[in-house]
Amino acid sequence: MTNPHIVKSYDLELQTLTSSVGAMGDFASVQFADAVQALLARDVVLAWRVIEQDRMVDALRRDLSASAATVIARRQPVANDLDEVLAELRIVEDLERIGDLAKNIARRATTIAGESVEAVPAEIAGKMRRLAALTAEQLRNAIDVYISRDADKAQEMDRDDDQIDALHAEIFADIIALMNASQPQVVSLVHLLFCAKNIERIADHATHIAEVAFQAASGQPQPRRIGSE
């Protein structure tokens, strides 16, 4: 929100929407961190907690979508105000997908934990932790640039995403090599492959949140670099 309105309750409604989306982002971040921890620690109890709490993410999405629709119906926002509310709706959808991906990681964590063989080889676990850490930072930064409307910082995140993509490709190659060398671990390794992909997709959603934040802050779509998807 850039300029105050004559009707102060309108400003309060917009501020509440922003704060609520930020809180949903914080919750999704915790879900993601817990899912990765459950995977690498073979913590079934934590994994099921992530799975069960996904309903809370869905409820937050429904509540925020309804609140945004109410603001549109009551205030009939135009120009920057309308862009802001629509941006929040798009970000909420990204956050719900991040929650879904965290739940998927947690579900696979329960399967991996039940395998009798070494679930996460040490050489993969370290890279998965690094991938998750980079992605968690990307998500935190995305929420920060949305809250602060920092267009310059939003642009930097597109470059950060390249590092995540490169590490994901490295993990993918490592897992495929292990699958070819160790038949008893194939089932766990297939699940790890999908978990790594889900982490990379969470980073993509974080980058999209930053792009939406950039557009909300600048009024312009974020320029894409040659070769970026």
* pLDDT tens, residue by residue, 62-119: 888 888 877 777 767 666 777 777 888 889 999 999 999 999 999 999 998 887 556 5
pLDDT tens for each residue of 34-66: 999 999 999 999 999 999 999 999 998 888 888
pLDDT of residue 38: 95
pLDDT tens for each residue of 158-196: 667 888 999 999 999 999 998 887 667 788 889 999 999
pLDDT of residue 129: 94
pLDDT of residue 181: 79
203 vs 21, 115, 178, CA distance in Å? 18, 28, 25
The answer to whether residue 225 sits within a structural domain is no
The predicted model gives 195-222 an average pLDDT of 85
Residue 189: give the domain boundaries.
8-218
Burial of 58 per CB tally in 10 Å (0-12, 13-18, 19+)? middle
The answer to whether residue 196 sits within a structural domain is yes
User: What is the distance between the alpha carbons of residues 32 and 220, in angstroms, rounded to a whole number?
Assistant: 30
What does the block give as tokens for 70? 């109410």
The answer to whether residue 2 sits within a structural domain is no
Residues near 66 by beta carbon (within 8 Å), at least 6 away in sequence:
none
pTM over 0.75? The answer is yes
The predicted model gives 189-207 an average pLDDT of 94
The answer to whether residue 144 sits within a structural domain is yes
The answer to whether residue 149 sits within a structural domain is yes
The answer to whether residue 3 sits within a structural domain is no
The answer to whether residue 59 sits within a structural domain is yes
User: What is the distance between the alpha carbons of residues 191 and 30, in angstroms, rounded to a whole number?
Assistant: 21
What does the block give as tokens for 115? 């395998």
pLDDT of residue 225: 43
Pick the closest to residue 95 from 103, 127, 195 (CA basis). Answer: 103
Number of domains forming the structure of the chain:
1
pLDDT tens for each residue of 127-141: 999 999 999 999 998
The CATH number given to whatever domain includes residue 137 is 1.20.58.220
pLDDT tens for each residue of 148-160: 877 777 777 766 7
The answer to whether residue 162 sits within a structural domain is yes
The one-character DSSP state at 119 is S
